């Protein structure tokens, strides 16, 4: 009998293989009292487990393939940092001594306390940090329970070609399993933006998350088919279905391999319209991948990394060095976005303000926070201006919603220019200034912004979140996150029209720009500059180069008026099947 289960497809691709079910439930943690003469022994037990956990993670990090994206090691580094943090070292040890409780219990109490703090903050970024705490604490708990080596950490080739079925996977699990040649994975928990799924996409592992109770329905070693695009997992498939998927798998592999030929080609539709493909960068180390993908520049350089995992803000010189590095290694235009920090990501970890606001996504963040902290903002503006002396740089302000914000931001930029003039420091006097259109109000008033900037860039991730009033990483409302919602499409269209009317370039740097299903629709709407994750560039280039704009269905833009999502999907299929 065929069984088909549905989840959220978070990493594309097809996997055909046998199930390997991972049962590493949290060990049963109970409290018991330690006799006073054994307390130091208990402390040593916890310290040893902590040390062993570090050794394990260091050895996992050593296994990361050299060509893996930097995300991979940075997730492991986050866990290593936590293992060195006093909240997981000293605090539980103090508890063992003061409460005379066992190591497991002390660790559990501290885990609960940390999770509670994060729960109160109710912030998307910190919510992902909760998973990290659980992953780290779990590892120590398992080591305390004497599970010295986890099954999937034994590199004996047992997992090769298997589809992993687990309650949840840590980023470290994902790296190790990829190293062991797994075909794909399915988890009961996790959302499309968790660290593990971001990793799966970067490493090219087909993956599905959020398949409730999957371990109850699937038998160990049972043959399975995983479709990472549709988010479906099929057990007991007939021979016909299996061979159909086998064909699709072969086609998918051929397709991926064939994309490399597009690297040297220009990006142009069949009827000759030139399109610009740019990359989004998060970390300086992303530059290699970006250059390999043949991007024509960086359309969104997220600078928040400069603020992460530290307690003091980065100085001007440090920022200048970071920007200059990227500009010089790219040797192509780089659009630097000023800090898009939220209430949780201020210099002091949010203690001074904002950490407990009810709706952090609607609070003091991005340009609002920059204008609220002019010294911090000026430091960054000076660094960007100075960096512009070393290559083509553009500056972009995130989350602008009013004209006043733009005026203030530009006036800060001007006063920095004047300072640099007085100091005799060189910078690009023609540096282009743009704003992100990621709030519905800004899309509606895109013309107002277009008149005052050199370019607009549509941030669809936030635009969808704010237009549809759904938290972009909340599992419970993820199903409403719909790029094809007519309200979203109309706002995008309005922005594109505003750009055309005022002769201002409009790019798109949200995830929609890198979604191959939407490329033709966006072309039909008039988008000509796309900025995306470097992994997506060649596939999008292929679609563009195989599109004749004059042959797209003449009713393509009727999708903007379609209230029925099924009709919209149908039209989208027609658009994609045309040509």
Residues that bind Mg ion (CB under 5 A): 438, 459, 462
Query: Residue 286: which of ligand PEP, Mg ion, none does it interact with, CB under 5 to 8 A by kind?
Result: none
Q: Least Å distance between CB 470 and ligand PEP?
A: 13
Of residues 429 through 468, those in contact with ligand PEP by CB under 6 A are 438, 459-462
Does residue 471 bind ligand PEP (CB under 6 A)? no
302 is a contact residue toward ligand PEP (CB under 6 A): yes
**Residue 104's binding partner out of Mg ion, ligand PEP, none, with CB under 5 to 8 Å set by partner kind:** none
By CB atoms closer than 10 A (0-12, 13-18, 19+), residue 281 is buried
**301 contacts 554 by C-beta, under 8 angstroms:** no
End-to-end CA distance of the chain: 40
Alpha carbon of 556 to those of 196, 518, 565, 574: distances in Å? 36, 12, 15, 9
CB 43 within 8 A of CB 97: yes
Nearer to ligand PEP, 416 or 488 (CB): 488
Length of the chain: 579
Q: Site mask, ligand PEP, residues 503-522, x = CB under 6 A?
A: ------xx------------
Q: Are strands 223-227 and 232-235 parallel, antiparallel or unpaired?
A: antiparallel
Q: How many CB atoms lie within 10 A of CB 37?
A: 7
Q: By C-beta, is 357 or 396 nearer to Mg ion? A: 396
Q: How far is the CB of 533 from Mg ion (least distance, A)?
A: 14
How many Å apart are CA 188 and CA 109, to the nearest integer? 25
Q: Residue 204 corresponds to which tokens in the numbers above? A: 């090219």
> d(Cα 557, Cα 507) in Å, to the nearest integer?
19
Token pair listed for 461: 């991730």
Between 34 and 279, CB nearer to ligand PEP? 279
Q: What is the SS3 assignment for 204?
A: coil
By beta-carbon proximity to ligand PEP, the closer residue of 105 and 301 is 301
- Least distance (Å) from ligand PEP to the CB of residue 59? 33
The residues facing 505 across adjacent strands are: 455
Q: Which of residues 203-262 bind ligand PEP (CB under 6 A)?
A: none
Shorter beta-carbon distance to ligand PEP: residue 173 or 340 = 340
Binding partner selected for residue 299 from Mg ion, ligand PEP, none, CB under the kind-specific 5 to 8 Å limit: none
Residue 510 touches which member of ligand PEP, Mg ion, none, C-beta under 5-8 Å by kind = ligand PEP
List Cβ neighbours of 448 (8 Å cut-off, separation of 6 or more): 403
How crowded is residue 315: how many other Cβ atoms within 10 Å of its Cβ? 11
Q: Are the C-beta atoms of residues 544 and 523 closer than 8 Å to each other?
A: yes
Of 162, 195, 493, 533, which is the active-site residue? Answer: 195
Q: Which of 101, 416, 445, 509 is catalytic?
A: 509
> Cβ 473 to ligand PEP, closest distance in Å?
11
How far is C-alpha 270 from the chain's CA centre?
32
Residue 80: name the closest of 44, 51, 111 by CA: 51
Binding footprint of ligand PEP, residue count (CB under 6 A): 10
Query: Which CB atom, from 222 or from 304, has the smaller least distance to Mg ion?
Result: 304
- Does 42 interact with ligand PEP (rule: CB under 6 A)? no
Pairing of strands 184-187, 298-302: unpaired
Q: Is 195 a catalytic residue?
A: yes
DSSP 146: T
Say whether 445 is catalytic: no
Q: How far is the CB of 337 from Mg ion (least distance, A)?
A: 9
Interacting positions 109-148 with ligand PEP (CB under 6 A):
none
* Sites for ligand PEP among residues 480-499 (CB under 6 A): none
Nearer Cβ to ligand PEP, position 300 or 385? 300
Q: What is the DSSP letter of 393?
A: E
Q: CB under 5 to 8 A by kind: which of Mg ion, ligand PEP, none does 460 bind?
A: ligand PEP
Residues 329-368 that bind ligand PEP (CB under 6 A): 340
Closer to ligand PEP by CB, 95 or 458: give it: 458
Q: Binding partner of residue 142 among ligand PEP, Mg ion, none, CB under 5 to 8 Å per kind?
A: none
Spatial distance between the Cα atoms of 169 and 560, rounded to a whole number of angstroms:
39
Q: Do 299 and 334 form a contact (C-beta atoms < 8 A)? A: no
Q: Which does 354 bind (CB under 5 to 8 A by kind): ligand PEP, Mg ion, none?
A: none
Give the integer Cα–Cα distance in Å for 523 and 200: 29
Catalytic machinery residues: 195, 509
Q: Which residues bind ligand PEP (CB under 6 A)?
A: 300, 302, 340, 438, 459-462, 509-510
């Amino acid at each position: 009998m065929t069984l088909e289960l549905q989840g959220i497809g978070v990493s594309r691709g097809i996997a055909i293989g046998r199930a390997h079910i991972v049962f590493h439930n949290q060990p049963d943690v109970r409290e018991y009292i330690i006799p006073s003469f054994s307390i130091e022994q208990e402390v040593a037990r916890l310290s040893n487990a902590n040390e062993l956990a570090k050794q394990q993670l260091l050895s996992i990090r050593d296994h990361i393939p050299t060509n893996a994206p930097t995300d991979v090691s940075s997730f492991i580094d986050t866990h290593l940092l936590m293992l060195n943090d006093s909240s997981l070292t000293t605090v539980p040890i103090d508890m063992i001594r003061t409460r005379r409780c066992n190591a497991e219990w002390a660790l559990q109490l501290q885990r609960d306390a940390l999770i509670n703090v994060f729960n109160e903050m109710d912030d998307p970024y910190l919510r992902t940090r909760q998973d990290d705490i659980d992953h780290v604490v779990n590892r120590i708990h398992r080591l305390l329970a004497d599970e010295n080596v986890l099954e999937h950490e034994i590199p004996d080739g047992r997992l090769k070609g298997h589809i992993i079925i687990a309650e949840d996977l840590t980023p470290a699990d994902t790296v190790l399993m990829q190293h062991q040649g797994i075909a794909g994975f399915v988890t009961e928990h996790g959302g499309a933006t968790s660290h593990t799924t971001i990793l799966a996409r970067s490493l090219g592992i087909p993956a599905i998350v959020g398949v409730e109770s999957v371990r109850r329905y699937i038998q160990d070693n049972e043959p399975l088919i995983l479709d990472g695009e549709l988010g479906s997992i099929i057990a007991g498939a007939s021979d016909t279905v299996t061979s159909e998927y086998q064909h699709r798998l072969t086609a998918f592999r051929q397709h991926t391999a064939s994309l490399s030929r597009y690297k040297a080609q220009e990006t142009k539709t069949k009827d000759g319209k030139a399109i610009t493909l740019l990359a989004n960068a998060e970390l300086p180390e992303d530059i290699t991948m970006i250059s390999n993908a043949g991007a024509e520049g960086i359309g969104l350089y997220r600078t928040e990394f400069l603020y992460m995992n530290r307690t003091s803000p980065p100085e001007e010189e440090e920022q200048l060095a970071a920007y200059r590095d990227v500009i010089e290694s790219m040797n192509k235009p780089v659009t630097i976005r000023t800090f898009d920090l939220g209430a949780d990501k201020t210099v002091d970890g949010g203690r001074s303000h904002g950490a407990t606001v009810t709706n952090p996504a609607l609070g003091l963040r991005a340009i609002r926070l920059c204008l609220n902290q002019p010294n911090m903002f000026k430091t960054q503006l000076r660094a960007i201006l100075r960096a512009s002396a070393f290559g083509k740089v553009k500056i972009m302000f995130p989350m602008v919603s009013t004209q006043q914000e733009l005026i203030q931001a530009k006036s800060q930029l001007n006063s920095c220019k004047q300072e640099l003039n007085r100091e005799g420091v060189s910078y690009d006097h023609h540096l282009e200034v743009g704003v992100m259109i990621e709030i519905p109000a800004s899309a509606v008033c895109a013309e107002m912004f277009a008149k005052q900037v050199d370019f607009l860039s549509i941030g669809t991730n936030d635009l969808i979140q704010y237009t549809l009033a759904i938290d972009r990483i909340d599992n419970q409302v993820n199903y409403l996150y719909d790029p094809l919602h007519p309200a979203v499409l109309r706002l995008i269209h309005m922005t594109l029209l505003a750009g055309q009317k005022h002769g201002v370039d409009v790019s798109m740097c949200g995830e929609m720009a890198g979604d191959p299903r939407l490329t033709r629709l966006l072309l039909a709407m008039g988008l000509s500059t796309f900025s995306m994750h470097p992994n997506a560039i060649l596939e999008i280039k292929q679609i563009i180069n195989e599109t004749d704009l004059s042959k797209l269905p003449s009713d393509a833009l009727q999708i903007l008026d379609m209230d029925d999502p099924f009709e919209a999907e149908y039209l989208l299929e027609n658009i994609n099947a045309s040509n």
